[in-house]
Chains A and B, each alone.
Chain A
Amino acid sequence: MTTRLKRKLADIGIDPSSAKANENFCLIGTPLPPLEKSKDTGEFVPLWKQEVRDEKGRRRLHGAFTGGFSAGYFNTVGTKEGWAPSTFVSSRNDRAKQKASRPEDFMDEEDLQELRDSRTVVDTTEEMDLTAGTKAELQRRDDIDETDKDPLTSALEAAMLPPAKDSAGARILKKMGWKIGQGIGPRVTLRQRRLQDLQASTGRAIAAEDVKLGPDDEEANKHTYAPRDTPLLIVDRKDNFHGLGYRPGMSLNESLGARGSNAQQGPSISAGFGLGALNDADDDDLDVYDSSSNSRNRTAYDIADREDDDSIAISSKSGRAKRATNNIRSTSAETFRDGTLVLPGFVLSDKPVAEDRWFPLPEIPKGWTPNPRRVWGQTQSDQSEKENIKADAKEPIPYNKWKSGMSADERGTMLGETPLPSAPKSVFEYMSQKDRERLKNITANLKTGTPEPASTPSPASIRMPSIEPHIASAALRGFQPFTSDPIKQGRYTAFLQSQADPSSSITLKPLPSQSIIEFNKEMDEYAQSAQIFKPMSGAMAGRFTSAAVVETGPQIYEGLHTPSEKEQEAKRQEEERKREEEKLSPKEHAAKLGMYGPMTREVKVWQPARLLCKRFGVKDPNPVSETAENGPSSSYPSSSQPDDTNGTQLDPLQTPGVEVGASSSGTDINGGKRDLTNIGLGEDDTQGRDTLTYERPSVDVFKAIFASDDEDSDEEEAAEPPEPPQVPATTKDIEMPSIPVDTVPDMNTFKPAFVPKESRLTIGSDEKEKSKNKDKKKEKKDKRKALVSFDDEGDEGESLSIKPKKRRKEKEKSKDKDKDKDRDKGKGKEKKHLKESKKDDEDMWVEKPAPPGVQAMDVDLVLDEDRKVGEPVPQVSSDVDGPNNAHGPTRGRKRAIDFM
């Protein structure tokens, strides 16, 4: 820490010897490694440096998984851990030794172990079908049966096709000589076999002697036969929760033991849930409690449906049984009662077709005439009568009374049970007693306040639809929809007012001829139209204005309208008035008479856009008006313009200071000498002379720029363009009156010669003061800066306070120069040089440095000085250059155009 800094810190108030001040943030050297090396070196090791070892410490493949072939892993090939590639050697001797290498050859013991584990002697995944050919087979057969119903094919299949997979027992049996379709046991004689057949068919024990053998069986009797296959008793697995003996789809009668007369027992699918077309009716889908399945008419169309629709394919057995019956029924010839045959494919319905009941028309008494009005009146009066009565009857039952039975609590109290400690049911229980009372009070007040208690909203009560106040007030201002009906409109506005201001006492009451319902409807309508016709809000509202006159369209008279004489008279008068009006215009009159010419012609000034003139290749007819347009904002309003207009329009004697230059506008003389070839070659005699005789712009120019707006009129006057020579007299005549005459005296006051000294001084002094203040501030700022900054020495602060002054002087000069430069834009460069030298002269003329703020003032001074400078220049030349000089840049530019 340097001593200087220490000193400064001490100045600020920080103890330089404190630890904070001495804290060191620098690190020198490399830090020592941490004392303890952490176990988990989470540091990055490149892939080729990572080593993966198994639990035995052997290098393994990358450790993302265990196992795998380690043979070819990094650099291990050829080493004793790694795998040695065998080279092919062709040799006749070792040909026998050669064998194809198996994957196992490249496996290490782990992989081999895994391989061994994965190999299973017995395929555990495969289903061990102990009863092969029984359950699975039967199931399969069932499936087939369901799809094709031919019993012959199914029998053939059962006989010929082997079971899908033989069980171990079956295989053993087969080895012992058993064949599919045979029974198990020793071979039997033909008689015994017949006996078995009979027993199986009749179900009775039959003595062997009863079996008779036909004469052709003699040959057959010589052989022994395999016994018949014993049909297995298959017990269905019970995987439902029905009671024993219950079949799904069994009707109540059936379950009770009585066999339903109806042959078809379609399961009644519960009505509540739809079954998809592809879903089979499951047990869960069946309507267990539907007892009406018997009475339900499931006839013709149901059957027809079932023929092709398997969505009603029912649990297997019953379905098949039904189908069988269907087949039978459809094939068996049925007859109608009269004996005619039923068409094939049709089935007689069990139930007769329900006939529609027709009631004969009541006999109309003679002389009766329809009078609907009477009926309407009656019903209406009934309604209005009933309404009040009905109000109570129709009252909707509150939800807590929906349950008609007694609740558990009620029952409990009746039985004298102690009520269970249950959770409090309403919000009120959580409230303090005070709050509850207060709420009660409020509700009570509300009820008394409204004419009818809100708790009983009867259809006959007056409902006042509420709209938000802002919408209502907006709708009040917006479109009035009911202008055609003044009464309605009045009510509408009243409604809106009542809604817009809730505190207002306006209340709408139904009209005497209006029922309450109608009134309510009306109110609803109002509310709706208020919503619709509220004016657009926000951004949209600003873009549109509502029409001042609402067009209601022409008044339409009912029926055939014959205009009354009055109307006709009025019309005629109106037409006449119109005609007169038409005739009033002399122009039109002339046109009507065909007197075209000056009567029908109007001539106006028209200012084509500058660009348009350019495009048409036409000179701008009124080019200066353009400069007049942007006069106030133009960067170089030349002082000559006011002078010029002054010279032409005002008494020149009144403006002695300027008249010299203005009255002798000898552009022609000058223009003759000025030539493109001359410019810049130094041969021009007048070159630079205008610079020498340069006059500062008069103060009014500055005022025009810097003064407040109330002096604008003068400025405009000043900026009024001189009339271009090519403008015809007509336009001039028209333009002339536009120049305000009354501003002339003002203008004089702004001539430099006529500005009273006091005012100038006051202006100047004001500005002076301001600038002085500014300066002071600046100085202060500088000083503050010096305090804050680190790099400057203490003694520099003093010099800083002085420096700006010098700089400012320079700045002023440069500013002046800049200004001049601005003014003289468009003039040659060499002029600038000259001007600078002239500037030096000027500076010489300045006896003491101008007070810093008086820049505006200083212009005046300089102007005077300029004049002094300009005096030695011969009068003639100043005359010559006067306008040129005075016109400044605009003129210069114009001249350049002229030359072109």
Chain B
Amino acid sequence: MAPSRGPQPLARSLHATLANHKGPVNVARYAKGSAKYILTGGQDRTVRLWNASLGTEIKAFTAHGYEVLSISVAHDNAKFASSGGDRSVFVWDVTTGMTTRRLAGHMGKIYAVEFNEDASVVASGSFDATVRLWDLRAQTRHPIQVLDEARDAVQTIHVGSTTIITGSVDGHVRTYDLRKGELRSDYIGHPVTAVVPTQDSQTTLVTTVDSHIRLIDMTSGKSLNDFSGHKNASYRCRGCFGYGEASVVCGDEDGKVWAWDLVDAGLLQPNPPPKVHEKVITWTEHHPSDPNEIITASADGTCKVWRQPS
């Protein structure tokens, strides 16, 4: 899992600031493939498409009537899904900038939306404590299935090839295993705000609002590691893995980006990290292939692209 030579230092020099959002940026996602582009969704009801290397805005997708809380990009980059306060999942066509589907059915704001691998199903987790799985192949208005096991708002979803992992405010990480036909719910004890599994789906990074990030073994439910030191008590601060899954990166509510060694859970230098955002960092995402790039989205209205000075 961890490379033998230890984790690479985190990219900490600012490459570009994406500052067109007029309010907090809630989510920032890399596009699929070579991931040259970034999609950000903010409180200003827009989804914006950016060129990460140039730092320029390409397009603004405006159809949401409320804040955008989650974005998911399809595997072929042809469409993406976004959700937020307007209680329906919007599926967009990237080129035309129009919504192709609006999946309504949730009773509350939708915190998380996620495509499956071939973008035939989109899962949405909502304040109404349900996860709805929508079929994008057929033109039905009803979800394929509603997962209503959660007792509180569903904050995050990860859709794997055969599993759906959800994190809920009720403190549970639920793993729906399609192949086995079973549901494994792991009680974390604190509201779960982010669930990021590793590539091999053996472990999952679980961010909770008790200022802890835990690495959970998915087979047994045991906590393998606990990363702490940052401050995350009331906001959704999505953490992620560093390059090669050798480290864990998370922004905190003070606007600092923290990094830990995955194996020994030790804080990487600099410790404490410098404050890079004015307000809470809502989203941290590492570039899927480039070892030197990471993006952070913050409530101060900016999304920043960090690169290693080469």
Contacts and interface: CB of A to CB of B under 8 A. Distances in A.
A731 B171 CA distance: 25
Contact of B162 (A596, A604, A611, A616): A616
Given A592-B189, A596-B214, A611-B135, A604 B183 contact: yes
Contacts of A587: 187
Contacts of B61: none
B147 to A, nearest CB: 8
Contact of A613 (B161, B178, B222): B178
B181 A591 contact: no
B184 interface: yes
Interface in A601-645: 601-609, 611-613, 615-616, 618-622
Interface in B224-242: 226
Interface string A62-77: 0000000000000000
Interface in B131-170: 133, 135, 137, 144-145, 149, 161-162
Interface in A562-621: 587-588, 590-592, 594, 596-598, 600-609, 611-613, 615-616, 618-621
Nearest to B121: A615
B176 A606 contact: yes
A588 B189 contact: yes
Given A594-B223, A608-B145, A609-B145, A616 B116 contact: yes
Contact of A612 (B145, B188, B226): B145
Nearest to A613: B178
A621 B184 CA distance: 15
A728 interface: yes
Contact of A596 (B145, B161, B180, B188): B188
Contacts of B186: 596, 600-601
Interface string A105-132: 0000000000000000000000000000
A612 B220 contact: no
B187 A588 contact: yes
B182 A612 contact: no
A616 B161 contact: yes
A579 to B, nearest CB: 15
B183 A605 contact: yes
A730 interface: yes
A731 B222 contact: no
Interface residues of B, number: 33
A621 B177 CA distance: 9
A568 to B, nearest CB: 28
Indicate the size class of the contact surface on chain A.
20 to 34
B181 A621 contact: yes
B31 interface: no
B184 A607 contact: no
B221 A598 contact: yes
Contacts of B182: 603-606, 621, 730-731
Nearest to A591: B189
A602 B184 CA distance: 6
B116, B135, B180, B214: most-surrounded residue (chain A CB, <10 A): B180
Contacts of B222: 596-597
A555 B180 CA distance: 53
Contacts of B178: 608, 612-613, 616, 618, 621
B37 to A, nearest CB: 27
A618 B162 contact: yes
B91 to A, nearest CB: 15
Interface string B97-129: 000000000000000000010001100000000
B179 interface: yes
Contact of A615 (B135, B185, B226): B135
Contacts of B176: 606, 608
A543 to B, nearest CB: 16
A621 B179 CA distance: 6
A608 B175 CA distance: 12
Contacts of A609: 133, 144-145
Nearest to A603: B184
Contact of A601 (B137, B179, B220, B226): B220
A730 B177 CA distance: 14
Contact of B183 (A591, A606, A620): A606
Given A597-B220, A597-B221, A612-B121, A731 B185 contact: no
B299 interface: no
A592 B208 CA distance: 13
A622 to B, nearest CB: 5
Interface string B248-274: 000000000000000000000000000
B216 interface: yes
Contacts of A606: 176-177, 181-183
B141 to A, nearest CB: 14
Nearest to B188: A591
Nearest to B181: A621
A452 B222 CA distance: 86
A617 to B, nearest CB: 8
Contacts of B179: 618-619, 621
Interface in A545-561: none
Contact of B181 (A596, A600, A607, A611): A607
Contacts of B121: 612, 615-616
Contact of B144 (A605, A611, A730): A611
Given A615-B116, A616-B178, A731-B181, A591 B220 contact: no
A602 B180 contact: no
A615 B180 contact: no
A620 B120 CA distance: 17
Contacts of A597: 220-223
Contacts of B180: 621, 728, 731
Contact of B133 (A612, A619, A728): A612
A596 B149 CA distance: 20
Q: Which 10 A-B pairs have the closest CB atoms?
A: A621-B181, A591-B189, A601-B221, A606-B183, A596-B223, A600-B187, A609-B145, A597-B222, A618-B178, A604-B183
21 contacts: A591-B171, A591-B188, A596-B222, A597-B221, A597-B223, A598-B221, A600-B188, A601-B186, A602-B185, A604-B149, A606-B177, A606-B181, A611-B135, A611-B145, A613-B178, A615-B120, A618-B162, A621-B180, A727-B181, A728-B180, A731-B180
Interface of B: 116, 120-121, 133, 135, 137, 144-145, 149, 161-162, 171, 176-189, 214, 216, 220-223, 226
Given A602-B185, A605-B182, 14 more contacts: A591-B187, A596-B221, A603-B183, A604-B149, A606-B177, A609-B133, A612-B121, A612-B144, A613-B178, A616-B116, A618-B162, A618-B179, A620-B181, A621-B181
